[in-house]
Structures are given as C-alpha cells and as structure tokens.
Structure 1
Amino acid sequence: MPNHITAIDAFLQPFSSVISSRTEAILKKERQLAKSSLYDFANGYKYFGLHPSGEDWIIREWAPNATAIILIGEFSGWTEEGQFQFDKLANGVFELKVSKQILQHTDLYKLMVHWDGGKGERIPVWANRVVQDEETKLFSAQVWQPDIQYVWQNESQRSAIEVPLIYEAHVGMATENEGVGSYSEFMTDVLPRIKEAGYNTIQLMAIQEHPYYGSFGYHVSSLFAPSSRFGTPDELRELIDVAHGMGIAVIMDIVHSHAVKNELEGIGLFDGSPYQFFHDNERREHAAWDSLCYNYARHEVLHLLLSNVKYWLEEFHFDGFRFDGVTSMLYLDHGLERSFTQYQMYYDGGQDEDAIVYLALANKLIKQCNSHAISIAEEMSGYPGLATPIEQGGLGFDFRLAMGTPDYWIKLIKEKKDEEWGVGNIFYELSNKRAEEKTISYAESHDQALVGDKTILFRLIDSDMYWAMSKTDKSLKVDRGMALHKLIRLMTFCCAGNGYLNFMGNEFGHPEWIDFPRAGNDWSYKYARRQWSLVDNKELRFEQLDAFDKAMIALQRNEQFINEPHIQCLEANEQDQVLAIRRKHLLFIFNLHPSQSYTFYGISAPAGKYNVLLNSDASSFGGFNRIDDGIDYFTRPEAQMSNRHRVHLYLPSRTVLVLKHTPPKRIF
C-alpha cells in the first residue's frame, strides 16, 4: 500500500509484521464484538441504567460477582426493607421494575450490592445523574427525567473542522467569583468571549463526574454523568446547543485511561470483586496517578467504554473528544520507564495490545456516530501511526497534541539567556512532526498553569505582574515579557501542524497559577477562577495581549494559511536572531534579538509586493509603534539579472511582522 505507514516511514519497515498484526487484531475484535456495526454494539447506555418503561422505571446493572442487589433511597428511608430487590438474569445482569409513583424525578437513590462475604452501598455504573450532599459530602444517583425534554435548536458540527482553533476551558473555574461556575454562566458569560476571540472549537474539561474537584476531572467516578457541580444535564445541552448556534464545535476531555479508586463513588469494587472492570493483579493500580487501570481485554469493558463514547456524542451532541492519558494506556509500564529514543520501544512487547485495539475501535465508532467529529490524543511518547488511519497501520486519531512544544518553551526560558535563543533550533522544534500525522500545536495549556508551575507570562514577568501592568507604568521586565509572549505564541501558531490550542485566560496572560480548593490552601477558590475584569480593564496591558491573540486567530480565519502543510524557512540568522518563515502566501519575520534593531534588513523571498497584515510592535498590542504598517514593500533582485529576490525591512528588536505576498504581474 503506497499510503501505508511503513511506506511513508522506511524506518518502520522492520516492524511491519507487528504493525500488521495490530491492524488485524483491531479488525478481528470488531468482528467479534459487532454483528452489524460498532454503532449498534455501543448501545449499553440504552439498556443498562435507569429508564422509563410505561408506568414504571426499569433499572439494570451488570454485576457478575453479586449475589443480590437492592434499590435504596429516599423512598425507602435508605434501608433495604421493601420490595426493591433486583431479579438476577443471565450473564450477571440484574433487573428491577419500580413504579413511577415510588421513584420520581429528582429522587435520590443508590444500590446495596451483596456479594459472598460482604455488601456495600454503590452508585449505579450507568447512572446519568449523580449529585453530592452539601452537608454529608456523600454522592448519590438522582432520577433525572423532567416532564419537558430538551429540544435541540441547532445541529451538531456537520462539516469537517479542517483547522481546529481550540479554546480549552473548565466550566467550574470560568467564573470570576470565588466559587464553582455553572454551565449557564459559561454559556452566558464565556461563550461570547470565545466567539469574539475567533476560536472555532471549545474543549471542555472535567465533564464526567468526579468526587474530588481538585483532580481537574481526571479521577472519574461516573462515566455517564455530567458533573452536577456545574448544573443539570439540560443546562450542559443548552451550552453546547448555543455554541453550535455560534458556529463553534464543542469537544470534551474523555477519561478512559484510568478511574478513581473510591469505592463508594466509583466502580472499582462495584460487585465486590476487584476485576469486574479492572485488572486484578499488579496491573490494577496506577501508582503514579493513584487510580485504577481498565482491563481492555474484557468484552464487557469494551462495551462500557464504547457505549460511553457513543453516549456523549448522541445524547449531548459533543463534536468529538480529547482522549486523556493515551501514553499511559499504550504501555504496560504507562510509559514511565521509557525514553522513546528508538523505534524498537514501540514494538518490543511492552505495549498493552488490548488498549491499542480499544483506542482504534473508539476512533472507528466516533466516525460512525458523526463522520465530522474529531478525536485528539494526549500522547507524549511519539507512538508512530497514532493519528494515521487504521487501514494504513495506525490507530485512527484525527490529531495528536504536540506535547513537546510547551516543555521546549519552558526549558528555553529557564535555561537560556535571551541572546542565546537559537532561531534555527526554534524553527526545527516547532515544525518537526511526523509526515503522516496531523498535530495540534500549543505554547501552553492547563498543564503549564497548575500550581507548582507558571504560565509563560508569569514566568517572564513574575512579581512585576502585580504592580506594573498598567499602561502608564514603566517596566523593562513587563516590556520584555509582553514582547516574548507575543513572539512565542505567534511562532507556535505559524508553525502549527494542523491546529492550535489555548487554555482560557492564557491568551491575555492570566496572572498566577491554577490551584483548586484543598486542605493546603484552606479550601480556597482564589486561584480556581478566571479574572476577566483584568482583560476588560482598558487601563491594563492584559487587554493589549488579548487584542494580539484576536489578531493572530483572525489571521488564520482570513488567510487560511495553516491549511497549507508546507512550512518553509527562508532565513535563520543565528547571530542576528532573525527568523523568516513562509507559509502559503504569508511571510512571518521574527527579530528575537533583545536589543538590536535592523534597518533595511534583506530577507530572501519570492518576487513581488508585500503588505503588513500583523505587527506585534503596534501600540494596540502594547508595542512601541516603530513600524509604518501602510508601506508597500517590493522585492529587489539580489544581483543584476538574478532570479533570487529580497525584501528589505526595518526590524525592531523583539518584534514580528506578518506580510502578505502579491506576485508580480506577468508581462507578455
């Protein structure tokens, strides 16, 4: 096959048999699971859980190790007395019918699960609504069947998102108040900001229910329940619906890489056995994450997780997923003991072949649900073929996150003086990617903003952020920080593989770190929020950084340059620290030198006229207005009768110019 991954990358040819066997394992598992299609197989959420059935409710759970299951709740005084014991059916399935007169909308309930030698209260595995008692802090399932069903007003994303411009967001911390924000507040207050900023995709974090708020949503307890901290399921639907009306796609972080260890809230010991959904040996616990690892070899686990994928796409109209912790899934050691310096490390038997099969099946299912939905892998090992079609030897993700880029920027800022920043190395690091894959580039995400780390601007400016961000203040540290913040983000953006991501607030240099309420900070929400008033204040410089981000995003919207895969380095002058990049019809010229400005600096470029589209030195972006944006720049031949041309420019220190090329008219 000419497009097979081994044909694209010759270094993979020694491992072609392993790659082929993995592809065959994916197709074989699909045949085993699905009589007709994965789409029909992934209907578990329609059978299991609580559902209306005429004048009754019918509730089903799979609990093969259980000896009995009894429904308890407010209606029974939370006792096991009464006629609420499930019938045991075949294959470990339990079923109960209960009158709607007994169990009503908003009632709380749980299951008392019995097994040989013990019993325990459990939240149903397939519960689609879970709430926490404010006083006891205990979680319960809640009946959620309002009389009026939500009516969708707008279609899901039904056209392909060629270049996702992703606004990564956390609903709870999206409010300025020191508390937990809601779906409705996000819809009203934040969606218009995202629309105005020009992003075409929102990535929502922490949607699946999780008992500990500070886990950032990554210790999931209830796979099918949207977090009730933020509001009701219908309020989440409305948020997504309104975003679709704005022309914005909505994807969610989906956590299928591990699960919370909590027994009362989670599913780790649902039926009294440790191996119902997870491994029952040394592979059961993820020591680094203090969580449990799914056993992807079990058909019931595949049924659970694939049904979960379909559930969020069908019931909430999400437009795709960002799969969390893919590296941890791919390797038996979770990738913690590998340097990934050789291809052998991807094919040496240390991989979780069952997880590899699951990820590919999940990607196939996503396309069966919505052919335009996207999947993004959070994967740091560089696994070949991750974002390559399955039939070409890959796993079928649409994109992978360029996770090395933020680490590169942090290392550069921390370890190199400004005058030591090598422009050639910067270009290589930002543009280097596998030829067969699409990537989402980013300078920083939520990971770089967590407590113990710093955002780019906070790392550059540090304490001056507290007293020198007024437009009337004078601070060399702030001037440097703002200039580099703009340069770093635009360099990352113009070299983006196929998309771009920004975490909410980072576009305007949100101060400080993210720290969720915990014992160590006296359960404070001070750092688990977004201070939108800073960017709204016209007297502060945050507004100027925000304006630059809007202009950067608009550049792609207007010129569609990221759609052009070829990125050409026209100039990488290490001594002058000047970098010139050509992409499509745009010329990006960066002067990274901390003090040296250049007059009449010649850049090798295609012949023609150039006009300034974006100038980081504009006063509206917090610059010093040293460049006249209205000038037409014409190239000149390098020598008489030469076909090589140069465009000559004034390049102030720590600035970037984006020029649009107009070819010369042909004369016949």
Structure 2
Amino acid sequence: MKDAKILPLVQDESWLKSHADAVYERFVRYQSAIRDINSHSGSILEFARSHEYYGFHFEKLRNGWVYREWAPQAHNLFLMGDFNHWNKYSHPMKRNYRGDWEVFLPYEEYKDSFVHGSKVKVHVEADNGAYDRIPAYIRKVDQNPENHDFAGQIWFPKKEFAWTDQKFSSKSQKKCPLIYECHIGMAQEKEGVGTYLEFAENILPRIKAAGYNTIQMMAIMEHPYYGSFGYHVSNFFAPTSRFGDPEDLKFLINKAHQYGIAVIMDIVHSHAVKNINEGLNEFDGSENQYFHPGPKGYHEGWDSKLFDYGKFEVQQFLLSNIRYWMEEFHFDGFRFDGVTSVIYYHHGHTDFDHPDKYFNDGVDQDALLYLQLANTLIHTFSESKISIAEEVSGMPGLCRECEDGGIGFDFRLAMGIPDFWIKTMKHKPDEHWDMFEMWHELTNRPKNERTIAYAESHDQALVGDKSIAFWLMDKEMYFNMGIDDKNLVVDRGIALHKMIRLITISLGGEGYLNFIGNEFGHPEWVDFPREGNNWSYQYARRQWSLADNESLKYKQLGLWDKAMIKLIDEFKVLSASHAQQIYLDAEKKILAYERADLIFIFSFNISESFFGYELTLPKVGDYLNILNSDDSKFGGFDRIDNKIHYSTNKNGVIKLYLPNRTCMVLKKIE
C-alpha cells in the first residue's frame, strides 16, 4: 500500500524523500486553510470579496453611500473631504456589529457634494496620535504635484466601461508565454511620464508587430515615489493616477486583448511602503494591523513593511486584491514580486546549498500558505489565468499544484540566467567563456516545473548596472551604430547580443521575457528622475526612433528579435520538452542541441571560422537553414548561404560552415 504522505512532488523528485514529512505538512496546512475558508465564506472566491464590503459603496436599499474600514485598535475614525469642507469631526464613524468602522451618507442629503471625483480622507485617532489617512480600499488616489499630497478620490463614473474582450482567453499564452515587460510611464520617447492611452496607441502596435503575446505591466498599483519602479505600494486597490484614470487602464487592457495579447500585472504583495500618510503602516495606530510588529515587520534592504500573512484579515485583504484586479480590470494573471523574500524570514540572504534550507532554515510557513491560497484563487477564478513567481532559491514544488505538495505557480522566473550572463560579460574574456557552464545554467531546472527564461529584465537595466547591449558595447554605441560604421567592439557586441538571446529563449525555459526596448539594444540604463540627476527624464524613456531608423544597427537588432520570436512561436519551441544536447566542443566553443525538432547551432569562437565542420544529427536527411544570425539584414556579414540544403550521410553526419560568433537554426525537410 502506498504511503499517503508521499505526495506526487516527492515521488517525482527522489532527492526530496528525506523531506516527505515537511512537504506533507505544508499540504495539510493548505487543506486545513481551505476548509476554514469554505466554512467562513463558502469558497475561496467568496472569501476574496472584502473589497465589496470595505471602502465606499452605494447601497440601493438604504439609498446612500456607506464607507467601512477595518481598524480594530483605533480609538476614533472620522470621514472628511470635499463634501464636508474637510471638517475633521463632522462625520464620525461608528463600530458596526462586526466591529468594523462605518458611516452612512444619505443620497438626498449628499447627492450634490459627495460626487464622482471628489476627494476624501479618513481622520484616525489612535495610540500613535491623530493622522489624516487614505482609505485602505480606495479605488483612485489623487496626487498633487505641487505639494506631493495624496488624497483618495470617490470614483463612481456614470457609465461603466464597455468591455469588448468577451471572446479573449489567455489559454494559448499560458502554454507558450512570450512576455514583453514594460513600464507605462517610461514607454514613450518624450522626456516625461507616459500615459495608459499613449501606450495603447503607440506601444501596443509595436509589441504586436514584434510577435510577443503577453505584456507584463510594472508599477500599476499606486506608489508615492515614481523612482521606486512601483515597488513601494501605498494603495493596493488603486491603479496609479500618474498614467491616467482607471478607465484609461481598462481601455489599454481591452485594446491589448483585441490584439490577442494577454496582460499580466507585476503584483507587489511582498512588502508595502512604510509611509504613514499615504500607506497602510500603523493605520489603526498599532504596528501589527497589516504587518508584523518590530524588526520582523521591516525589510532593511527595501526600507519597507512586511505583511503578516498568518492573519486572517490580511489574507482576505490580499486575496481580495487579486480578485479585484482580475475582475475589475481583466488582468490575465500576475508576476509575484519578491517571492524569495516572502518565503524566508532571512529574505534569501543565505546560500541554498542543502535541501534542509528549503524546509527548516527560516521558512515562513504562513507566507507559503498565502502563496498557495493566492494561486488557488487565481486558477479557480479561471484556468487560463497565469501566475509567475520571482523566486531565486529554487524552493521545491514552487510550480507544482498544491494537491501535489507544491505552491501552485505556473512558472518561476529563471533569475540565475541573467545573473550568469552579466557575470560572464563582466568577469570573463570571451576566450574563457565556459560552454559547459553555459549549458548547465540554461538547462538546470526541474522537468516538471515550468520556467520563464530571460537574458535581462528591468533589474539588469537599472542605474548602477547596465543592459546587455551596454555591457557589450558601452560608449561605442554613441558613435558607431551606423549601418556603414566599421567598429570591432560594435561588431562583437551585436553578434553576441543576438546569440545570447537565441540561446536563452530556445534553451532556458518554457516561457521567455524581454524588457521594453532591450530587444533592439536600447542604449544606456534606466534612471528615474531624482535629486541626484536634477529630476531628469533623460533615462526614464524609450528611444523608439533608434529602432525605426533604417540607417542604424538598432533596426537590425530589432529585426533579429522579431525573426527569433516568430520562429520560437511558429514551432512551439517553448512548449516542447527540454532540449537534447547533440554536441559540445569546449575548446572551439561550439554547441549544438535539438528542441522541437529543430537543430540549434552556436559558435562562440572569437576568431576562427570552420569549414566542413562535422556534427551528427539525430535524424538522417536534408536540412534547411531557417534562421541565421550572420544575415546582413540582422547586422551580420553574409558568410552563410541561406539557400544551401544540408544533407547528412547515412550515419546522420552533416558538414557545415561555422563562422565565428554566429548561430543558426536547421529544420529537417520532410
């Protein structure tokens, strides 16, 4: 008889057998939590509806507006705003039968003053003093650019947004996600903040033409400081007003769906801004309402507050937040920020050099449970929704179903791959690039857990670091990117830029991610306006004119990326099983492998080109070169004839011409 404690995750990963009890215990905790939620609310979908109770709502039966707030340790709450001329004390809130604070505004009395767009705050008297706060469930926040003051806004538009995306489903994107990571504010070429509507008009057509099927939006949840890249969230239910109104965001997502593009949000449930005036910190006067008290509730590296995931009300707040974004804005899923920090009390600041550390070294079991519940909610809401974890430790079962003993994500970001590329470029001359290490870094992942591969994301482009293009070419990009310019640094950089992307997308995972503009080698770094750069937007924008200019090599890199994405999509490479290595020559720096019935061949050799180079392919027959990085339209030197058919002998041996720093893809002719 099978041991009931041996879950499928442990059965599939034999190295976990000594930790079978720990895996089973987290499964039991999950089952118990689901039972409690079902007992409390009927289902996890119903449990995730607190945003329909708290905040501002019009109640037809009572014919008026009700505002509710959870603030268990506060002494007094008062609603104030434009409607009462900001009188702090004229509208006291009272505790209702549930212990929540509540105030009711009759329609007839307030129909002319409590109106769409008017501003509100809640005055809270508590142990920490008296503060004017923004309601926790506010749907829109107004930012005054002159004094940086935040205020909640009543948002009851007369006409509901008219969605036209009823037939759209992200089911196919979930199978083979080609993700375009983007930031709305920095997406335009102008030196300023871009808008949702500008993105819909100017950038969505570019993404569609480039072949990406999913966009990952950063910095959507309201945040006080623009330069935080959206990672210091203050108002979890409010799309940032910097980029426009909520209806503008809906228009953008609806438009993306019309293009057949899925939209996922970079959701920040890993921490929150510590600001008292704008955020949730000490809302009811205590340290332990939403967050852990004391040092446990503070992330020193991020200077932010950490949620208490074990608290029932916090679980409901965060899960309702997930449902809200899917239901109200039609997001197709989420990329969860900082999952490693969430999972471990030490936030990942250790070497994960022993399996014990995944189960016994500072693991926050409440946080793991919350992530299981979040993924259960997402996939119960719709099977086509996508969940991605930004996780670096390699937590076993992260992308396995909860019923198998896992955490329930669909994908994990392969954070080790961009780290590998940056370290290689920074610390190793080309002749010391290690082909065995390259193969290992790009293939070392569980067979039953799906991975999003990427060469670089926004993390690698931030000021203090450099994009891959800038690591490869640096200042030469300012002077030698013309089509006819002769420059060895740029020639090398363009060749490696193309190769790094193709080997990463074809070998590294079951999905792929690119940061906005990096597909054409966007120069320089990302740096938001701040005092240190005189509040400049010079580096907080994307220079599309470079990619559009026929006389620049940026255009060629963009064409390569488009051709690469098209090939990967057409042949369903990402949904194919893991690649099989055909050949590796460490000395000559040549690597070949098969995936999705295509043959990928790379020569990282720095100077030698090889004539009649022999490789043994898995299948005998004739092959056609369907993609070649040395094509002149991609910034190459046309050393490879694309018209040649390559034939194997009876033993499957093929002879090729392999120029240095090139890659090609062969397809068997049926």
- TM (normalized to structure 2)? 0.96
Q: Following superposition of structure 1 onto structure 2, how do residues 623-642 of structure 1 map, counting pairs within 5 Å?
A: 623-637=636-650
Report deviation, 1:432.
1.2
Q: Which amino acid aligns with 2:126?
A: W
Q: Which amino acid aligns with 2:636?
A: G
Tell me whether 1:601 sits opposite 2:613 in the alignment: yes
Q: Which amino acid aligns with 1:118?
A: G
Find the aligned partners of 1:518 and 1:655 in 2 and give their Cα distance.
Answer: 41
Equivalent residues of 1:57, 1:100 under 8 A apart: no
Equivalent residues of 2:263, 2:333 under 8 A apart: yes
Q: Which amino acid aligns with 2:657?
A: Y
Q: Deviations over 1:177-230 (max 9, x none)?
A: 111100000000000000000001000000000001100000000000000000
Quote the residue 1:641 is aligned against: none
Q: Following superposition of structure 1 onto structure 2, how do residues 566-605 of structure 1 map, counting pairs within 5 Å?
A: 566-605=578-617
Q: Which amino acid aligns with 1:100?
A: K
Q: Following superposition of structure 1 onto structure 2, how do residues 76-475 of structure 1 map, counting pairs within 5 Å?
A: 76-82=84-90, 84-98=91-105, 99-116=110-127, 118-155=129-166, 156-160=168-172, 161-336=174-349, 338-475=350-487
Find the aligned partners of 1:349 and 1:407 in 2 and give their Cα distance.
Answer: 24
Pick from 22, 26, 31 the counterpart of residue 22 of structure 1. Answer: 26
Report deviation, 1:116.
4.5
Report deviation, 1:37.
1.0
Find the aligned partners of 2:536 and 2:573 in 1 and give their Cα distance.
Answer: 44
Find the aligned partners of 1:460 and 1:346 in 2 and give their Cα distance.
Answer: 36
Report deviation, 1:434.
1.1
Report deviation, 1:415.
1.6
Quote the residue 1:488 is aligned against: 500
Report deviation, 1:94.
1.0
Tell me whether 1:497 sits opposite 2:497 in the alignment: no
Equivalent residues of 1:424, 1:579 under 8 A apart: no
Find the aligned partners of 2:150 and 2:461 in 1 and give their Cα distance.
Answer: 29
Quote the residue 2:635 is aligned against: 622
Q: Which amino acid aligns with 2:216?
A: Q
Find the aligned partners of 2:546 and 2:260 in 1 and give their Cα distance.
Answer: 27
Q: Which amino acid aligns with 1:458?
A: F
Quote the residue 1:640 is aligned against: none
Q: Following superposition of structure 1 onto structure 2, how do residues 490-569 of structure 1 map, counting pairs within 5 Å?
A: 490-569=502-581
Report deviation, 1:633.
0.8
SS of the residue corresponding to residue 495 of structure 2 reads helix
Report deviation, 1:436.
1.9
Equivalent residues of 2:170, 2:262 under 8 A apart: no
Quote the residue 2:53 is aligned against: 47
Deviates more, 1:156-165 or 1:310-319: 156-165
Equivalent residues of 2:266, 2:335 under 8 A apart: yes
SS of the residue corresponding to residue 484 of structure 2 reads coil
Equivalent residues of 1:496, 1:562 under 8 A apart: no
Find the aligned partners of 2:231 and 2:128 in 1 and give their Cα distance.
Answer: 32
Quote the residue 1:37 is aligned against: 43
Q: Which amino acid aligns with 2:71?
A: A
Pick from 59, 72, 81 the counterpart of residue 80 of structure 2. Answer: 72
Find the aligned partners of 1:205 and 1:28 in 2 and give their Cα distance.
Answer: 34
Q: Deviations over 1:534-590 (max 9, x none)?
A: 101111100000000000000012111222113111110112111111112101111
SS of the residue corresponding to residue 90 of structure 1 reads coil
Q: Which amino acid aligns with 2:555?
A: E
Q: Which amino acid aligns with 2:145?
A: E
Equivalent residues of 1:33, 1:299 under 8 A apart: no
Pick from 653, 658, 665 the counterpart of residue 651 of structure 1. Answer: 658
SS of the residue corresponding to residue 335 of structure 2 reads strand
Find the aligned partners of 1:457 and 1:3 in 2 and give their Cα distance.
Answer: 45
SS of the residue corresponding to residue 92 of structure 1 reads coil
Q: Which amino acid aligns with 1:494?
A: S
Q: Which amino acid aligns with 1:396?
A: G
Deviates more, 1:3-12 or 1:124-133: 3-12
Deviates more, 1:401-410 or 1:579-588: 579-588
Deviates more, 1:501-510 or 1:646-655: 646-655
SS of the residue corresponding to residue 199 of structure 2 reads helix
Find the aligned partners of 1:181 and 1:260 in 2 and give their Cα distance.
Answer: 23
Find the aligned partners of 1:524 and 1:80 in 2 and give their Cα distance.
Answer: 38
Deviates more, 1:502-511 or 1:431-440: 431-440
Unaligned stretches of 5+ in structure 2?
none
Find the aligned partners of 2:604 and 2:399 in 1 and give their Cα distance.
Answer: 33
Q: Which amino acid aligns with 1:296?
A: Y
Q: Deviations over 1:611-644 (max 9, x none)?
A: 011000001000001111011111013xxxxxx3
Q: Which amino acid aligns with 2:544?
A: W
Q: Which amino acid aligns with 1:53?
A: E
Q: Which amino acid aligns with 1:223?
A: F
Report deviation, 1:76.
2.4
Unaligned stretches of 5+ in structure 1?
638-643, 664-668
SS of the residue corresponding to residue 127 of structure 1 reads coil
Find the aligned partners of 1:23 and 1:613 in 2 and give their Cα distance.
Answer: 47
Report deviation, 1:647.
1.2
SS of the residue corresponding to residue 66 of structure 1 reads coil
Q: Which amino acid aligns with 2:104?
A: K
Deviates more, 1:171-180 or 1:154-163: 154-163
Find the aligned partners of 1:543 and 1:376 in 2 and give their Cα distance.
Answer: 31
Q: Which amino acid aligns with 1:145?
A: F
SS of the residue corresponding to residue 112 of structure 1 reads strand
Find the aligned partners of 1:581 and 1:548 in 2 and give their Cα distance.
Answer: 20
Find the aligned partners of 1:387 and 1:523 in 2 and give their Cα distance.
Answer: 41
SS of the residue corresponding to residue 589 of structure 1 reads strand
Find the aligned partners of 1:75 and 1:559 in 2 and give their Cα distance.
Answer: 60
CA distance 1:117–1:553, shift in 2 (3 Å): closer
Q: Matched residue pairs, number?
A: 655
Equivalent residues of 2:128, 2:285 under 8 A apart: no
Report deviation, 1:75.
2.4
Q: Which amino acid aligns with 1:70?
A: F
Report deviation, 1:81.
4.3
Find the aligned partners of 2:242 and 2:338 in 1 and give their Cα distance.
Answer: 24
Find the aligned partners of 1:291 and 1:394 in 2 and give their Cα distance.
Answer: 28
- TM (normalized to structure 1)? 0.96
Equivalent residues of 2:640, 2:657 under 8 A apart: yes
Find the aligned partners of 1:373 and 1:619 in 2 and give their Cα distance.
Answer: 40
Find the aligned partners of 2:124 and 2:297 in 1 and give their Cα distance.
Answer: 22
